[in-house]
Amino acid sequence: MARRQNPRSSSGADTLPGTDDFAENITDIDVSEEMETSFLEYAYSVIYSRALPDARDGLKPVQRRILYMMSDMGLRPDRAHVKSARVVGEVMGKLHPHGDAAIYDAMVRMAQGFALRLPLIDGHGNFGSLDDGPAAARYTEARMAAASLALTGDLDEDVVDFIPNYDGQLTQPEVLPAAFPNLLVNGTTGIAVGMATNMAPHNLVEVIAAAQLVIANPEATLEEVMELVPGPDLPSGGRIVGLDGIRDAYRTGRGSFKTRAKVSVEQISARRTGIVVTELPYMVGPEKVIEKIKDAVNAKKLAGISDVTDLTDRQHGLRLVIEIKNGFNPQAVLAQLYRYTPLEDSFGINNVTLVDGQPQTLGLLELLRVYVGHRIDVVRRRTAFRLGKRKDRLHLVEGLLVAIMDIDEVIQIIRTSDEAAAARERLMSIYDLTEIQANYILELRLRQLTKYSRIELEKEQDELRREIAELEAILGSDSLLRQLVSRELGDVAEKYGTPRRTVLLEHDDAPALGSKASAAAAGAAGAAKGKAAPLQLEIADEPCWAILSATGLVARTAHAEPLTEAGPRARHDVFRSVVRTTARGEVGALTSAGRMLRLQVVDLPQLAPASGRPTMAGGVAAKDFLTLAKGEALVALVPLDTVVAMGTAQGVVKRVSPDYPLNREDWDAIALKPGDTVIGAAPAADGDVLVFVTAQAQLLRYEASAVRPQGRTAGGMAGIKLGAGDAAVFFGVVGAADAEEKAVVVTIAAGSDALPGTSAGSAKVTPFAEYPAKGRATAGVRAHRFLRGEDRLMLAWVGRGPARASSSAGVARSLPSEFGRRDGSGVTLAQAVDEVGPSFA
């Protein structure tokens, strides 16, 4: 019990002056009852007047008051922006007696395109982002967005009830007319006392289509509605993974679903692969993602990430680049990111809203029915209001038609009357007019009577009667009323609708992240159950091929499957060097300057197999991958653990021993003379054959054992004897098994004075076995007899089964060997093309 007592005694010196008439009044109050009553009043105020939206217009009281006040201020989309502080002051002073911060926060949210699917306020200035707050109200400007006109339209036509404001001096709408289902389109969030709401945004076109279905068929089922509204459509786009939780929410009003960022794995540089994020989950900002990634990396939860860069700008939108370390599987790193960062987030649907002033949890179908009922009531009241206005106008027009038939007499009656009341009575008695008609005639100015011609009034009378008949038909037919509501909804969808942004995925098809040890077993088990096998985080050290193509592209294959002449690749591009290695191994890159560069195979881009074979379309240019000097080119890829033979343009040959330095990334593999360049290199065992072809069509072959292996600083030895003005154009190694059976020599001649591509030239293919072996440092034998106008070889190639690139980006059959004898000339290029096809390369 609580008791209030007088702190002073009523006797002696303690008596207060002037308190002789004081009467003590002590009231006993039950504290528990008082707390219960006060708390319930507070809770009701928060639920009804602050935190929960109305199911009809989808707005909380503060949002509704902001839009109504902006409409009352005339801040339409075709008017200039005004200071946000002015709007906040009007709302606070007239309708919402709370702090200006709460009003401005609600106003800001309605202007944020990343928060609402269809923003209701057109903001000018800094209205914040997902990572930063907005500027103060005195710095920003605002006006109504076009969509908010649909929410506040027809307010002056008695479509909703108006209630007093907080001090009873003004009135405000109890609910807005809402020409579209704002609660479903924009969603909402709020925390009340003992309850909360969290509703997801949806696509306007889909929601209106569902509302039209409910209008046409009030008995429509949830399954029929969900065919039109398959799931939320978030402002930020992204992907929704798993639809079971959405179905639960649409059925019961509660559920949850996972949202994921929209990502792609791209080659962001010659050596680096990256995960590029272009859309994030709902209400997740890039700075938050970057912070979480850094925290997870520092905590050793994330591996394989070297850098995160935010390249977002106004022109291209969101672009978050997560750089992956070499040797890590991007898909496995992405699975880690989904697990430890907001790139995957969950959204809990809790459809708590006010229906007839009572908080209820509604499913999708119930929400649509509440909105449709509200909209039908709005249109019915609007129709009745317009009907009354037109009937009133028709009544006045009919009175004017009576008066205008005898306008002179009407004027005479008015002039001869002593007062207005007498004139009114005489008009009503003489012309059988009502008091309203008589007053309207008396209030007209004399100059206004001239424009009321009989024809115009009769035309207006007919038009009014037609409109009255239409309005009465709508009010008298529930079917016509529903058709009108549905048609107006369709107009709103056509005017404000936008394509869906969020992709809906029924299942999570991403493979799980597994360890190396359990990858095979889990993969087999997953395959048996129909699930994806777990991913390995790091790329396994499996056998593969390192490839250099004729156009200077470098890459590696996923596996060490046999490389044959058949198989797709980029058009007019063939394999120049192929080295069998492992994914985490090293190969050497030999340049035309005689430099050997150590190359990590895992750094090479992996080729995507097409039709079971690798295609060089996924390679990267060597000049973008290696640091090459001006005029220096990549000649070949070679293994670092075997003897390699190389030849130069001046006819020097060298077999270098694999005693390369372990602490250096590049070194000289041959000491070249001034002006000399390396033209070819390949692994060469003692039983293999070394081949030179010169520009003067001289071919020399001899055993590789004739060239002893040397150290990397040696300058090599004489490989072929060159004539005056001659130079080697080809050096290669032919395997011992291919030298006598499968290897061929391809030569193409041209004129040195002709511009490239203008000389007809001739081509020749000859079996390599027809060329006799000669000693090292000799001139060799003739390989091509020049025709008239020819004086050099434009191209020479020796190896197994020459192939040509086909027009379908594949590799066709080998060229025929009947083009010419060893010591004879070839056939013209036109003839060669006719025989092997138009895509000879």
The residues carrying an active-site annotation are 139
Cβ 126 vs Cβ 157: under 8 Å: no
**What is d(CA 830, CA 782) in angstroms, rounded to the nearest whole number?**
23
Nearest to 556 by CA among 269, 271, 263: 271
DSSP element (H, E) containing 692? strand 689-694
Complete DSSP assignment for 97-109:
-S-HHHHHHHHHH
Report helix angle 364-404 to 454-476, nearest 10: 150
Give phi and psi for 172, each to the nearest 5.
-145, 155
Cβ 599 vs Cβ 833: under 8 Å: no
**What is d(CA 58, CA 187) in angstroms, rounded to the nearest whole number?**
8
- For residue 474 the two structure tokens come to 């709508």
Q: Which residues of 563-573 are buried (b: 16+ CB within 10 A; e: fewer)?
A: eeeebbbbeeb
Give phi and psi for 114, each to the nearest 5.
-85, -10
3-state secondary structure of 502: coil
Cβ 761 vs Cβ 747: under 8 Å: no
* C-alpha distance from residue 619 to each of 271, 564, 785, 803 (Å): 11, 18, 38, 20
Cβ 556 vs Cβ 547: under 8 Å: yes
- For residue 270 the two structure tokens come to 């010659």
Angle at 22 between CA 21 and CA 27, to 5 degrees: 145
Contacts of 398 by beta carbon, 8 Å cutoff, 6+ apart: 437, 461
Query: Tokens 């690139």 label which residue?
Result: 805
Nearest to 411 by CA among 376, 448, 372: 448
Do the strands 644-648 and 678-683 form a parallel or antiparallel pair, or are they unpaired?
antiparallel
Q: What is the CA radius of gyration of the chain?
A: 44
Question: Half-sphere exposure of residue 726, counting CA atoms within 13 Å on the CB side?
Answer: 18
DSSP assignment letter at 811: B
For residue 213, the one-letter residue type is L
Cβ 698 vs Cβ 782: under 8 Å: yes
| Full strand arrangement of the beta sheet holding 543-549 | 575-582, 543-549, 553-556, 620-621
Q: Alpha-carbon torsion 435, 439, 442, 445, what sign?
A: negative
**Residue 724 class from Cβ within 10 Å (0-12 exposed, 13-18 middle, 19+ buried)?**
exposed
Report helix angle 435-443 to 364-404, nearest 10: 70
Query: Tokens 């192939």 label which residue?
Result: 803
**What is d(CA 1, CA 510) in angstroms, rounded to the nearest whole number?**
65
The total number of residues shown for the chain amounts to 841
Q: What count of other Cβ atoms lies within 10 Å of the Cβ of residue 465?
A: 14
For residue 84, the one-letter residue type is S
Complete DSSP assignment for 571-622:
TT--EEEEEEEETT-EEEEEETTSEEEEEEGGGSPBPPEETTEE-GGG-EEH
Question: Where are any strands of DSSP class E within 708-840?
Answer: 709-710, 717-718, 728-734, 743-750, 762-767, 781-782, 792-800, 827-828
DSSP assignment letter at 601: G
- For residue 728 the two structure tokens come to 């080697």
